[in-house]
Amino acid sequence: MARCPQCQAEIDAMATVCSACGWDFPDEPAPPRREGWAYSRLADIALIVGMVAACLGSLSAILGTVFALLRGNLSEGLIAGPLCFFLCFGMFVVFARVQDMA
């Protein structure tokens, strides 16, 4: 059995409303706000800048691959270009997921 934080009456652990005083329990407790420089506004700006840079890197890797293939440089067009693209795109995904979690 649990106790109501308002009136201290014993209630069912799964109750959403206290049967004694009618106090309505919140659905879910709010997650604690993380503190420190890694969760500051400056860090949010750095994540956005990183996302933009990773996106531009992905686009430039695609263009570089196309131009390398047009010049006949197969090793750069088939190996280095796609590798650079996936590295930049992977960083874009990481920045986007971290920004979504924050």
Look at residue 2 in the predicted model and tell me its pLDDT.
Answer: 78
The residues near 10 (Cβ < 8 Å, ≥ 6 apart) are 1, 2, 3
Average pLDDT, the chain: 87
The pLDDT of residue 33 is above 80: no
Q: What is the CA radius of gyration of the chain?
A: 26
Find the mean pLDDT for residues 58-74.
96
One-letter identity of residue 17:
V
Residues in the chain: 102
Domain boundaries of the chain, sorted by first residue: 1-29, 31-101
Look at residue 24 in the predicted model and tell me its pLDDT.
Answer: 82
Find the mean pLDDT for residues 51-63.
96
Find the mean pLDDT for residues 39-62.
93
Q: Quick check: 82 and 65 in contact, CB under 8 A?
A: yes
The pLDDT of residue 86 is above 80: yes
